[in-house]
Amino acid sequence: MFTVFDDELDRTAREIRDRHRSFAAGRWTGQDLESHQLDAFRATLEYVKKHSVFYGRHLADVDPASITSTRPEQLATVPFTTKDHLRQEFADVLSLPMHKAWIFYETTGTTGRSTPCPRDNTDSLHNNTALTVYYDTIFRQYGDEQIIGVSGPTELHAFGDTFGEVCRNLGHAVAKMWPHSPMVGFDRALETLRELRATGLFSTPGMALTLAKKARAAGLDPRRDFRLDVIMCTGELASPSLLENIGEVWGARVYNALYASQEASVMGAAGRDGALYTAPLLNLYEAIDPDTGAAVEPGADGVRTGELVVTSLYQGSKPLVRYRTGDLVRLTPPAEGRVLPAPTLEVLGRTRDTLTIGGRSISGYDLEELVLTHPRGYLDYQVVIDAVDGRDELTLRLELPEDRTGLRLDEEEIARAVDERLGVPLRFEYGPLGSVTTTGAMVSWKAARVEDRRLAAPDEERAAALAVAGGRAQ
């Protein structure tokens, strides 16, 4: 309701809302979107050149007026922004002084220097409006009497504020909780979900599974003793099969709800059909070859696979220009009959998380989907890669419910699929996995989910994940 105290913000909020609703309803032509993106791209260039110390130098030779289309050859005249730029330039990347923001966030800093990620009202209005419009297609399926648990990682992360406001926009009550906090803990979080009869939950995939484990340890059945209808997962890599398993464990529909980062804010959000849609009113999207930086050509089906590059199409505290996310994605053009008229994306993991197993390359997303396509009812998983007599081997470690309720597990079927894709044997281990599997959002999916014993010692990220796991409240 802050906008009622500022007439200009109030007008801006209504314009943004109407624009997103109109786009989502399919009332924009391709030319409408192209014009909007081109105008907004040039506006962002002008804005950051004027207001950001870093971009004033970095884009000194770029004339926004010379950009006459969003075709790859035109965009290539503008230099990339990288994660190293953000770490090295720190506050000089900002386009507004810190006191002009309404709130301050920062990156986790688990594997490097934390970088400032303030938000002003413009940032929040644009991002939260897009999420509100997209998520309305999901939550309207479950009626008007909803209570949503929001389990965000830290006070310096946008998770709780963003989803809290979006649920408020949609008319739903919110209960914020972070089970790893010593002030909350898992027992209290579960009690809150149960006593309030929460109908929905925003959390990481790892947290959704950990809550289920803790519920079973307390003698509760997640399907019987809770009434969750929908779980909105974000913050970690999540394959369709992992999401389906979480849904079976809880008896709920599970969505890959959001693709975002502290630095770049919202880059993708779910619609009712379960697809992860881009937000083309918020960002201009490119897919590049991570090695050469050249634009990736679409395949015959129009799909582009490469490192995602985004440019902010709104002008707030920290708009980024041609920001290399470091994430490998598949971008698919919009299709008739979809819930939203936007391209869809699949996040395959970070470019540096691509693994070579048995001499074959595989993304984190595809590895997770490969080993988890068939089993259902497990409470946690991890993949171990080892080399035995010079040959790679995989071990799928699964944590199972003690009573095996709802478990479907065919070892031969899973091993056969792994052999066909990677040409390596697969073994199985069963037992508790500890807290390291919950650190994906704080460190990385690979550090949380993959133990690569081919390495002489744990790499920096794996060591960071183990440290985070060791310090968390159980």
Give the CATH number, domain containing residue 176.
3.40.50.12780
pLDDT digits (tens, 9 = 90+) for 185-218: 999 999 999 999 999 999 999 999 999 999 999 9
Residues 252 and 363 in one domain: no
Minimum mean pLDDT range among 136-150, 163-177, 364-378, 454-468? 454-468
Looking at the fold, whether 161 and 184 belong to one and the same domain comes out as yes
The total number of structural domains in the chain stands at: 2
Amino acid 1: pLDDT: 65
Long-range Cβ contacts of 71-80 (<8 Å, 24+ apart) = 72/286, 72/295, 75/284, 75/286, 75/295, 75/322, 76/294, 76/295, 78/45, 78/321, 78/322, 79/322, 80/293, 80/309, 80/322, 80/323, 80/324
Of 402 and 342, the structure prediction assigns the larger pLDDT to 342
Residues 114 and 172 in one domain: yes
User: Does 438 have pLDDT greater than 90?
Assistant: no
Residues 238 and 367 in one domain: no
Predicted confidence at residue 106, as pLDDT, reads 86
111-138: average pLDDT = 93
pLDDT at 111: 62
Same domain, 188 and 217: yes
**118 and 33 in a common domain:** yes
Q: Which of 173-182, 205-214, 228-237, 243-252 has the lowest mean pLDDT?
A: 173-182
Q: Check residue 353 and give its pLDDT.
A: 87
Q: What confidence tens digit (pLDDT) does each residue in 64-116 have? A: 999 999 999 999 999 999 999 999 999 999 999 999 999 998 887 666 678 88
pTM of the model: 0.94
How many other C-beta atoms lie within 10 A of the C-beta of residue 376? Answer: 16
Are 331 and 369 in a shared domain?
no
* Range in 37-51, 57-71, 122-136, 424-438 the model is least confident about: 424-438
Lowest mean pLDDT among 95-109, 129-143, 197-211, 408-422: 95-109
Q: Which residue has tokens 């002003």?
A: 120
Per-residue pLDDT, averaged over 259-283, amounts to 97
Same-domain check for residues 307 and 409: no
Beta strands in 214-318 (DSSP E): 230-234, 253-261, 265-270, 276-278, 283-288, 304-312
Is the pLDDT reported for residue 274 higher than 70? yes
Instruction: Judge whether residue 449 has pLDDT over 60.
Output: yes
427 strand-pairing partners:
395
End-to-end C-alpha distance for the chain, whole angstroms: 37
Question: Both 82 and 230 in a single domain?
Answer: yes
pLDDT exceeds cutoff 80 at 127: yes
Cβ count within 10 A of residue 126: 24
Identity at 240, one-letter amino acid code: P
Three-state DSSP class for 391?
Answer: strand
Tell the residue number behind the tokens 């794996």, with chain if given: 462
pLDDT score at 379:
96
Q: Side chain identity at 414, as an amino acid letter?
A: I
Q: Which domain holds residue 426?
A: 352-471
Residue where a domain terminates, one of 324, 349, 374: 349
Same-domain check for residues 66 and 133: yes
Among 349, 364, 379, the domain boundary falls at 349
Interval 295-308 mean pLDDT: 97
Angstrom distance (rounded) from CA 135 to CA 128: 10
CATH of the domain at 431: 3.30.300.30
Q: What is the pLDDT of residue 473?
A: 47
Verify that 274 and 380 share a domain, yes or no: no
CB neighbour burial string for 437-460, b if at least 16 within 10 angstroms, e if fewer: bbbbbbbbbbbbbbbbeeeeeeee
Which among 304, 333, 349 is the end of a domain? 349
311: β partners: 284
Q: Which residue has the higher pLDDT, 374 or 178?
A: 374
Mean pLDDT of 293-315: 98
Average pLDDT over residues 233-258: 96
427 in the same domain as 394: yes
Residue 180 reports pLDDT greater than 50: yes
In this structure, of 38-52, 145-159, 247-261, 422-436, the range with the lowest mean pLDDT score is 145-159
